[in-house]
């Protein structure tokens, strides 16, 4: 706004900058700084109709000047007008005491005056202020507002003043609709803004607003298009030699996130030697997709996904995922790709798979394993019941599941020719061990159980890399998971609260140069989520991300570049400008409609958390293949939702 003020026409020493409180005060600060004069106030109060307070019949200035809109008689009687005027006059006296210790309107006789507000809808308050200053003898009046209606602009000009407005629109219904953040300015902020500003105040390097500006412009400079597959070449080139490339998401229900991960993953699998994709999902269910892609077991990807029962099944039983899987199955060059699950929620399903395999190779051993797993029989395949029982019987079934894992591991010596099936069985046996440990850790709080889960994900990923290398397939893989698992936990507040995650642990295990962490985000749109645990999925609106968040910075960067989506790959020279700790959206499988609070935004140092980022300004919800089935089981992603 300050850039639009014609400094040359103002004579130093004969200029005043007056803000209409409270909304006009923050807008006026940089203008006063630019003109090197103190910021002062012109106290004006709207006169509203008692039957409709939002309807302005006029305005009252602190010196007694009154302006009434044409036709005011239709909204208020003469008696009501006097009562409303007296009420607003008393409010003006309160503001005088608070802001000026009782002093009056600054003397503007012979001065050039800049009158500032946050916007004009009808223009009544501004017209009243202009008339008051003209009665004082102001030499010239410039009205400065970020936004106004056409009619308000014409009305202010008719008073003989000059208008400076960033937006003058015939579509303006209210000033607030043009702001991302139109929260009320408090008296304390007004008082702080009234401190002397005779000299321009240069923001220190660490000032948050300065940091945000740097971040926005750095992001704008780095943004690259991604409309076509060819546009993704710089991203592929940057990560082609990494051992692992992790592709995140800021929600579990956004269609565009699945589509862009589909595109990138096919390129990495088909052209760059990556051999498998590991998902934040259950091993047994994803193994069915693995067998479909490799061997055609199943009518179609959708048919296989129809059997996914664990809530939230829309995460992997959706149209976008089905299209990705069918694309792999139909391609001769991609059909050999491995499809695997990284998660550990499938306690009972994994037991079934272990017993099924062992029975096929050693029926006698299968009976022994079954007897040990019978330790869980009293809980009737209900993880919740088992977790609760650990308060009464702390030892639970821990020794039984470890013993069974050891037995399955020994089988490899006897059944090398069935390595793929053996590997599947041993992984399921590990899941049973780690799932039992996970439900045990739930008793000790969220961090303990979360860390068991992400440590299991890392162990599974490491095993998949080893197997890929052993099979002569390159030892490189792609991961699809939520940003809270992908982005390095050490760049967030997770570390202070005792949490770790897959991305940070992988960097520590494999080395930062071997791991590529790519986050995905959006500013607004819709996502598929439930309003409560275990509830039916629905399309839920994502409100525009608030000012000061990573998403808002990307939104502004895209606006500068006139783009709707893009990706950035920060270089070493960009990291400082992108290191500011700001909020970063993280939406899980539960997203109550119209409730996005501070807890939705994770404090994040962007350049430390990710190696690259894909941002889509407005997104749409996933297309679920079927409605959820209530199982009474612990939901996947419990308890954090991601």
User: Regarding the domain delimited by 2-202, which CATH topology (the fold level of the hierarchy) does it fall under?
Assistant: Rossmann fold (3.40.50)
Determine what percent of the chain is predicted with pLDDT higher than 90. 61
Mean pLDDT value of segment 449-462: 96
Q: What is the secondary structure of 429-483 as a DSSP string?
A: HHHHHHHHHHHHHGGG-HHHHHHHHHHHHHHHHHHHHHHHHHTTS-S-EEEE--H
pLDDT for res 73 = 73
Closest CA to 507 of 281, 261, 246, 251: 246
Span 273-298, pLDDT tens digits: 999 999 999 999 999 999 999 999 99
pLDDT for res 166 = 85
Highest mean pLDDT pick, 180-194, 361-375, 530-544: 361-375
Is residue 19 within a helix (H) or strand (E), and if so which, with residue range? strand 15-19
Closest CA to 624 of 250, 259, 315, 292: 315
Q: What is the secondary structure of 487-498 as a DSSP string?
A: S-GGGBSTTTTT
CATH architecture assignment, domain 205-255+479-622: 3-Layer(aba) Sandwich (3.40)
Under 8 Å between Cβ of 57 and 48: yes
Under 8 Å between Cβ of 263 and 231: no
What is the C-alpha separation between 350 and 13, in angstroms, rounded?
81
pLDDT for res 596 = 62
Handedness of CA 147, 149, 151, 152 (dihedral sign): negative
| E strand residue ranges, 476-564 | 477-480, 515-529, 538-542
pLDDT of 206 over the 60 cut: no
Span 368-393, pLDDT tens digits: 999 999 999 999 998 888 888 888 88
What is the C-alpha separation between 139 and 581, in angstroms, rounded?
47
pLDDT of 417 over the 50 cut: no
User: What order of strands is seen across the sheet that includes strand 66-68?
Assistant: 44-49, 52-61, 66-68
């Amino acid at each position: 706004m300050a850039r639009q003020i014609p400094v040359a026409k103002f004579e130093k020493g004969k200029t005043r900058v007056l803000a209409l409180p409270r909304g006009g005060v923050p807008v006026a600060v940089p203008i006063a700084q630019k003109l090197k004069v103190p910021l002062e106030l012109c106290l004006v109060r709207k006169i509203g109709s008692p039957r409709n307070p939002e309807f302005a019949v006029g305005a009252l200035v602190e010196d007694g000047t009154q302006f009434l809109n044409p036709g005011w008689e239709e909204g208020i009687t003469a008696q009501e007008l006097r009562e409303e005027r007296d009420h607003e006059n008393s409010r003006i006296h309160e503001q005088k005491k608070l802001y000026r210790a009782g002093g009056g309107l600054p003397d503007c006789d012979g001065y050039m005056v800049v009158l500032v507000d946050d916007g004009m809808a009808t223009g009544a308050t501004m017209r009243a202020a202009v008339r008051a200053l003209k009665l004082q003898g102001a030499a010239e009046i410039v009205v400065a507002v970020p936004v106004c209606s056409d009619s308000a602009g014409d009305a202010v000009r008719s008073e003989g003043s000059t208008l400076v407005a960033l937006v003058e629109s015939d579509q303006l219904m209210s000033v607030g609709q043009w702001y991302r953040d139109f929260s009320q300015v408090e008296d304390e902020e007004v008082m702080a803004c009234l401190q002397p500003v005779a000299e321009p105040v240069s923001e220190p390097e660490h000032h948050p607003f300065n940091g945000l500006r740097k971040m926005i412009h750095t992001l704008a400079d780095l943004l690259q298009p991604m409309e076509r597959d060819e546009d993704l070449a710089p991203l592929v080139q940057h990560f082609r030699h990494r051992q692992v490339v992790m592709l995140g998401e800021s929600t579990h229900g956004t269609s565009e996130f699945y589509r862009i991960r589909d595109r990138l993953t096919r390129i990495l699998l088909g052209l760059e030697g990556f051999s498998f994709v590991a998902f934040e999902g259950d091993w047994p269910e994803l193994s069915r997709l693995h067998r479909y892609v490799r061997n055609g077991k199943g009518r179609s990807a959708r048919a296989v996904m129809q059997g996914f029962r664990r809530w939230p099944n829309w995460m992997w039983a959706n149209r976008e995922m089905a299209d990705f899987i069918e694309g792999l199955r139909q391609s001769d060059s991609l059909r050999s790709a491995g499809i695997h699950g990284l998660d550990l929620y499938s306690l009972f399903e994994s037991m079934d798979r272990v017993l099924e395999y062992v029975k096929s190779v050693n029926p006698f051993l299968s009976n022994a394993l079954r007897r040990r797993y019978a330790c869980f029989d009293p809980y009737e395949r209900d993880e919740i019941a088992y977790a609760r029982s650990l308060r009464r019987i702390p030892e639970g079934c821990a020794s039984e599941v470890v013993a069974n894992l050891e037995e399955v591991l020994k089988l490899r010596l006897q059944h090398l020719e069935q390595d793929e099936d053996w590997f599947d069985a041993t992984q399921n046996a590990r899941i049973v061990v780690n799932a039992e440990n996970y439900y045990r850790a739930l008793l000790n709080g969220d961090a303990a159980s979360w860390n068991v889960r992400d440590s299991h994900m890392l162990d599974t990923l490491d095993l998949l890399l080893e197997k890929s290398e052993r099979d002569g397939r390159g030892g490189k893989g792609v991961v699809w998971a939520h940003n809270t698992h992908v982005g390095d936990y050490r760049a967030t507040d997770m570390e202070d609260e005792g949490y770790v995650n897959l991305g940070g642990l992988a960097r520590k295990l494999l080395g930062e140069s071997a791991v590529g962490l790519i986050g995905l985000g959006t500013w607004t749109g819709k996502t598929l989520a439930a309003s409560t645990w275990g509830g039916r999925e629905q399309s839920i609106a994502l409100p525009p991300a608030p000012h000061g968040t990573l998403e808002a910075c990307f939104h502004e960067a895209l606006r500068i570049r006139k783009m709707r989506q893009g990706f950035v790959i920060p270089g070493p020279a960009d990291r400082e400008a992108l290191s500011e700790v700001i909020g970063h959206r993280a939406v899980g499988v539960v997203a109550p409609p119209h409730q996005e609070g501070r807890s939705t935004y994770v404090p994040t140092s962007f350049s430390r958390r990710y190696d690259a980022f894909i941002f889509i300004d407005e997104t749409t919800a996933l297309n679920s293949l079927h409605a959820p089935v209530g199982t009474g089981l612990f939901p996947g992603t419990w308890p954090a939702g991601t």
